[in-house]
């Protein structure tokens, strides 16, 4: 499948799954036009653009280098959140974000790879994709999570909007030949249902509860899951950089979230109420 076909397959699969789940739960999609306009914007900057850019980039750079570049998302998020005055950073949070990024570099160990000979176009595409992801966290925080719509409704609407937008231009941009083997179909279903549909339900909930910058720090956990899964499923060796990198990443996330600060021990419910009051 071509990169744009992968994106279309993910969105269609996710939309079908989410609509069925929404019907089972008895929830309804937004009836006003304004939320749909914001959901369409979210579909472009969160799904269509970064999904395509990463699929295109990984035809040109290694997965190790792509993992490091993906981990720049919280740094872009912090930049966007500050520039739009969505959140107010502290030196502690900035130090935590930088520490987390250092942990990702240790984990991915790009010095073992052919990183220096990687395509500059691929690197640029991956960085641009991370910037799109970062913009989506700030956009959702500012325009959607304060509307008191359930996370399931927001994620379903986003998948439907993305499917409609990309489906409209698919006859022009997704005309490449494709071989739909059982493995390909299964991979698209997994990416659509789990990596897209379910993931964005959790994503909206996290943005509403913890804020854009905090939600974006989950990016630091992606390389840990990838390497750990490789060791468990593919019998890949667990190296020193996996253990050290994971420790540094988790410490960085804890610092950025002030979890180790005894002065910030407010209950989650209280912090959620304060976040939503700010949105209103």
Identify the pLDDT of residue 220.
Answer: 74
Say what the pTM is: 0.74
What tens digit of pLDDT does each residue of 158-178 get?
Answer: 999 999 999 999 999 988 888
Q: DSSP for 239-263?
A: -HHHHHHHHHHHHHHHHHTTTT-TT
- Tracing tokens 């993910």 back to the chain, one arrives at 10
Residue 263 in tokens: 């002065």
What tens digit of pLDDT does each residue of 43-63 get?
Answer: 999 999 999 999 999 888 777
Residue 16: partners with Cβ closer than 8 Å, 6 or more residues away: 192
Its sign, for the CA torsion 56, 57, 63, 69, is negative
Give residue 108's pLDDT band: very low, low, confident or very high (50, 70, 90): low
Q: For residue 148, is it left (φ>0), alpha (ψ between -120 and 50) or beta?
A: left
Q: How far is residue 126's CA from residue 54's CA, in Å, rounded to a whole number?
A: 6
What tens digit of pLDDT does each residue of 125-169 get?
Answer: 988 999 998 898 888 878 887 778 888 888 899 999 999 999 999
Please determine, for residue 96, whether its predicted confidence score (pLDDT) is greater than 80.
no
| Dihedral angle of Cα 169, 19, 52, 181, to the nearest 10 degrees | -90
Q: What percent of the chain is helix, strand and coil (3-state, nearest 5)?
A: 80, 0, 20
176-to-3, 60, 75, 91 alpha-carbon distances in Å: 10, 19, 36, 49
Please determine, for residue 242, whether its predicted confidence score (pLDDT) is greater than 90.
no
Of 76, 91, 82, the closest CA to residue 136 belongs to: 76
Please determine, for residue 41, whether its predicted confidence score (pLDDT) is greater than 90.
yes
Neighbouring C-beta atoms of residue 80, cutoff 10 Å: 23
Alpha helices in 115-239 (DSSP H): 120-143, 151-173, 182-192, 199-210, 212-216, 222-234
Q: Which domain holds residue 144?
A: 3-279
Residue 106 in tokens: 């240790």
Domain count, the chain: 1
């Amino acid at each position: 499948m071509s990169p744009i076909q992968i994106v279309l397959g993910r969105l269609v699969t996710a939309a079908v799954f989410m609509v069925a789940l929404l019907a089972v739960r008895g929830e309804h999609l937004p009836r006003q036009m304004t939320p749909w306009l914001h959901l369409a914007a979210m579909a472009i900057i969160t799904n269509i653009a970064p999904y395509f850019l990463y699929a295109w980039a990984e035809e040109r750079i290694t997965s190790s280098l792509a993992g490091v570049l993906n981990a720049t998302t919280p740094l872009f998020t912090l930049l966007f959140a500050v520039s739009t005055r969505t959140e107010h950073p502290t030196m502690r949070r900035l130090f935590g974000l930088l520490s987390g990024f250092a942990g990702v570099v240790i984990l991915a160990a790009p010095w073992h790879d052919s990183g220096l000979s990687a395509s500059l176009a691929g690197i640029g595409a991956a960085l641009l994709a991370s910037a799109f992801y970062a913009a989506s966290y700030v956009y959702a925080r500012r325009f959607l999570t304060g509307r008191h719509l359930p996370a399931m409704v927001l994620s379903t609407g986003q998948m439907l909007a993305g499917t409609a937008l990309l489906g409209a231009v698919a006859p022009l941009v997704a005309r490449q030949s494709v071989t739909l083997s059982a493995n390909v179909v299964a991979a698209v279903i997994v990416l659509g249902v789990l990596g897209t549909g379910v993931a964005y339900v959790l994503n909206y909930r996290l943005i509403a509860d913890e804020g854009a910058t905090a939600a974006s720090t989950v990016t630091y956990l992606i390389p840990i899951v990838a390497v750990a899964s490789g060791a468990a499923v593919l019998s890949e060796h667990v190296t020193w950089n996996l253990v050290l990198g994971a420790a540094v990443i988790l410490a960085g996330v804890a610092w950025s979230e002030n979890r180790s600060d005894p002065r910030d021990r407010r209950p989650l419910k209280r912090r959620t109420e304060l976040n939503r009051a700010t949105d209103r």
